[in-house]
């Protein structure tokens, strides 16, 4: 069916405006972060990505870092050591990224209420992690040394292990968003993205990575550079609601085999994970 000439003319006028709007970088945000060792390396990477995307004004105000922490531990830090509270009380942060371990976590609600009280339009993100040790029971027992066989896991097994943990995030945040309607907390689906990356490793489609265990530095699950960059792309996509595909290879990834190809794979995984995850706040 051919469109009427008048409609074609209108479309020809609107299309360039839409394209220009999409091409215009968003304003940078002032960011505050609190988390553990699966999270605190992320802010500098997102800062690098924002600069590459020509986003001006992105600034990391502070990072509150405590190994293996719940968000409540950051909240309970005493005056003089607490990096987050003074920034929230000053109303200078526009976005607060948090990463819990065990849920529920009262620290999330405490920080959200404090943030909104001083900056009503403040945004909040929560990083969804991957299950440490590939075994939630071992993790909950806080076992420090254990042998982990990651290389025999199938995607189906990984989903069975991780989905109950993902649901804890979803249930907790859904409850908080109902309790504090102005919060609109969103989840950054890093865990979902990591499973997708591991699936490609199983299929032999990730340059320089022959086995799933090569994506981690230890049994707990601290990430190698591939997962770090992937997670940072997920955060970038959620924070700025932009597809990271096409951004240049980050410095820390540049020495990896077939870095350009690997970078594109990580970008595509991140965008797919974010846009297909209902609680990310981002759609295609």
Under a CB-based contact definition with an 8 Å cutoff, are residues 88 and 98 in contact?
no
The full set of domains in the chain, from first to last, is: 29-280 (3.40.50.1110)
Number of H helices, E strands in the chain: 10, 5
- For 70, the enclosing helix (H) or strand (E) is none
Among the listed residues 34, 242, 25, the one whose alpha carbon sits nearest the alpha carbon of residue 125: 34
For 25-52, write each residue's pLDDT tens digit: 899 999 999 999 999 999 999 999 999 9
Confidence (pLDDT) at 14: 46
> What's the gap between Cα 168 and its chain centre?
16
- Contact between 139 and 131 under an 8 Å Cβ cutoff? The reply is yes
CA atoms lying within 13 Å on the CB side of residue 31? 25
Residue 16, pLDDT > 90, answer no
- What distance in Å separates the CA atoms of residue 15 and residue 20, rounded to the nearest whole number? 9
**Cis previous bond, 82, omega within 30:** no
List C-alpha distances in Å: 10 to 3, 15, 16, 98, 236.
11, 9, 11, 45, 34
Please report the pLDDT score of residue 4 as a whole number: 57
d(CA 120, CA 212): 43
Using 50, 70 and 90 to split pLDDT, how confident is the model at 65?
A: very high
Residue 6 has pLDDT above 90, yes or no: no
CA distances from 169 to 73, 105, 186 (A): 18, 10, 10
* pLDDT for residue 8 is more than 80: no
Say what the pLDDT of residue 143 is.
Answer: 65
Query: What's the whole-number mean pLDDT along residues 193-220?
Result: 97
Pairing of strands 186-188, 123-127: parallel
Beta strand spans in 111-178 (E)? 123-127
Q: Residue 84: which pLDDT band, with cuts at 50, 70 and 90?
A: very high
Q: For 226-272, how does the pLDDT look when each residue is reduced to its tens digit (9 = 90+)?
A: 999 999 999 999 999 999 999 999 999 999 999 999 999 999 999 99
CB atoms under 10 Å from CB of 251, counted, come to 9
Give the pLDDT band of residue 281 (cuts 50, 70, 90).
very high
d(CA 158, CA 5): 54
Tell me the average pLDDT across 153-178. 96
- Res 20: pLDDT: 38
DSSP 135: -
The beta strand positions in 80-197, using DSSP E, are: 95-98, 123-127, 186-188
What gap in Å lies between CA 267 and CA 271, rounded to an integer?
Answer: 6
- Pick from 24, 19, 20, 33: nearest CA to 55: 24
Q: What percent of the chain has pLDDT over 70?
A: 89
Tell me the average pLDDT of the chain.
91
């Amino acid at each position: 069916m051919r469109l009427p000439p008048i409609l074609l003319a209108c479309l020809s006028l609107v299309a360039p405006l839409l394209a220009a709007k999409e091409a215009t970088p968003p304003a940078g945000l002032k960011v505050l972060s609190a988390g553990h060792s699966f999270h605190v390396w992320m802010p500098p990477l997102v800062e690098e990505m924002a600069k590459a995307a020509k986003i001006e004004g992105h600034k990391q105000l502070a990072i509150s870092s405590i190994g293996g922490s719940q968000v409540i531990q950051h909240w309970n830090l005493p005056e003089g050591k607490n990096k987050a509270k003074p920034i929230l009380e000053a109303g200078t942060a526009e976005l607060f990224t948090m990463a819990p371990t065990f849920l529920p976590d009262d620290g999330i609600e405490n920080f959200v209420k404090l943030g909104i009280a001083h900056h009503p339009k403040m945004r909040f993100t929560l990083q969804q992690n991957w299950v440490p040790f590939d075994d939630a029971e071992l993790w909950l027992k806080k076992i420090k040394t254990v042998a982990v066989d990651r290389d025999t896991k199938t995607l189906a097994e990984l989903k069975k292990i991780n989905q109950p943990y993902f649901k804890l995030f979803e249930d907790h945040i859904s409850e908080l968003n109902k309790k504090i309607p102005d919060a609109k907390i969103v989840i950054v689906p890093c865990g979902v993205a990591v499973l997708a990356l591991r699936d490609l490793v199983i299929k032999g489609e990730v340059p320089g990575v022959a086995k799933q265990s090569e994506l981690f530095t230890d049994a707990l699950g601290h990430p190698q550079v591939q997962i770090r960059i992937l997670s940072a792309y997920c955060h970038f996509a959620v924070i700025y609601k932009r597809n990271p595909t096409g951004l240049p290879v980050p410095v820390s990834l540049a020495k990896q085999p077939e870095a350009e190809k690997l970078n594109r794979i990580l970008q595509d995984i991140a965008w797919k994970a974010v846009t297909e995850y209902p609680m990310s706040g981002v759609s295609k």
